[in-house]
């Protein structure tokens, strides 16, 4: 077990929406530069966990701290600084982005916010868009006029602009076509490695997780039931829920061929 202090720590987190709890005692530790995946069946609570970790949903029980500061109960004066250091990109890519602002304005806003929060950024809109495979001609487009995949990529570029300590990605590239995805993933991966940005990626896309993360956690029945490098977890699943995920990708178990394709 590493002795590096945790950047994000979730302790006995319970959360839901008024009915039976979706999360029922999740413990999770992320250390600086970790690249971790979150997998599990549809509806198991991956997005809920991402929301709780990012401070968007308050747990009913337990707590989450980011750099020792309670997430979601951050005093107002620290909120901007935490927001710059801990970024979430939601599934639809639109949350928190004004559809009437242009891509350039959106990126400038992100750089401005990051600067105010004391982050050092290169304030290079073209380079920031390049990381997610968007050509510079997109700068004049209104965010609301973009396709789903383009919007997702702007949302990621905007989050990365702040050079956060930790980026939470919830199904980040679902709307991006498969041909483009590998290139975008490679560029994101190079940037997060170079800048030491930690990642937590919730996704059904095992190929994406294989490329972006070193470990995965499997979420089932409200808790993290097993963890390890993705290929090991798929090759030798310890729980029925994990076996189900592995069975959906039989080649991955037999030598990870599907992941290499």
For residues 99 and 192, what is the distance between their CA atoms, to the nearest angstrom? 27
Closest approach of ligand ATP to the CB of residue 90, in Å: 11
Nearer of residues 90 and 163 to ligand ATP, judged by Cβ: 90
Nearer of residues 32 and 60 to ligand ATP, judged by Cβ: 60
Asked whether the beta carbons of 172 and 113 are under 8 A apart, the reply is no
Closest approach of ligand ATP to the CB of residue 75, in Å: 27
Closest approach of ligand ATP to the CB of residue 20, in Å: 9
Closest approach of ligand ATP to the CB of residue 149, in Å: 17
Nearer of residues 46 and 163 to ligand ATP, judged by Cβ: 46
Nearer of residues 45 and 228 to ligand ATP, judged by Cβ: 45
Contact positions vs ligand ATP (CB under 6 A): 17, 22, 40, 42-48
Nearer of residues 8 and 50 to ligand ATP, judged by Cβ: 50
DSSP the chain: ---SPPSEEEEEEEE-SSSS-SEEEEEEEE-TT-EEEEE-STTSSHHHHHHHHHTSS--SEEEEEETTEETTS--HHHHHHHHHHEEEE-TTS-TT--TTSBHHHHHHHHHHHHHHTT------HHHHHHHTT--GGGGGSBGGGS-HHHHHHHHHHHHHHT--SEEEEESTTTTS-HHHHHHHHHHHHHHHHHHT-EEEEE-S-HHHHHHH-SEEEEEETTEEEEEE-HHHHHHS--SHHHHHHHHTSHHHHTTSHHHH-
Closest approach of ligand ATP to the CB of residue 206, in Å: 13
Closest approach of ligand ATP to the CB of residue 22, in Å: 5
């Amino acid at each position: 077990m590493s002795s590096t202090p945790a950047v994000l720590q979730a302790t006995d987190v319970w959360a839901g929406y008024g009915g039976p709890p979706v999360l029922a005692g999740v413990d999770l530790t992320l250390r600086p530069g970790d690249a971790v995946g979150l997998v599990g069946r549809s509806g198991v609570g991956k997005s809920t966990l991402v929301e709780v970790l990012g401070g968007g949903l308050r747990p009913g029980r337990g707590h989450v701290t980011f750099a020792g500061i309670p997430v979601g109960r951050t005093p107002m004066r620290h909120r901007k600084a935490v927001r710059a250091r801990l970024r979430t990109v939601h599934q639809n890519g639109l949350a928190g982005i004004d559809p009437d602002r242009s891509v350039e304005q959106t990126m400038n806003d992100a750089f401005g916010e990051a600067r105010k929060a004391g982050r050092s950024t290169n304030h290079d809109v073209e380079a920031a868009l390049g990381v997610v495979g968007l050509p510079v001609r997109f700068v004049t487009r209104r965010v609301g006029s973009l396709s789903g995949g383009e919007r997702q990529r702007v949302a990621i570029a905007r989050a990365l602009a702040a050079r956060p300590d930790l980026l939470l990605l919830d199904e980040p590239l679902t709307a991006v076509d498969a041909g483009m995805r590998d290139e975008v993933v490679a560029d994101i991966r190079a940037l997060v490695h170079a800048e030491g940005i930690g990642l937590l990626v919730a996704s059904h896309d095992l190929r994406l997780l294989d490329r972006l993360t070193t470990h995965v956690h499997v979420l089932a029945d409200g808790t993290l039931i097993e963890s390890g490098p993705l290929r090991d977890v798929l090759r030798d699943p310890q729980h029925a829920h994990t076996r189900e995920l592995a069975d959906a990708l039989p080649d991955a178990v037999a030598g990870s061929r599907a992941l290499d394709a």
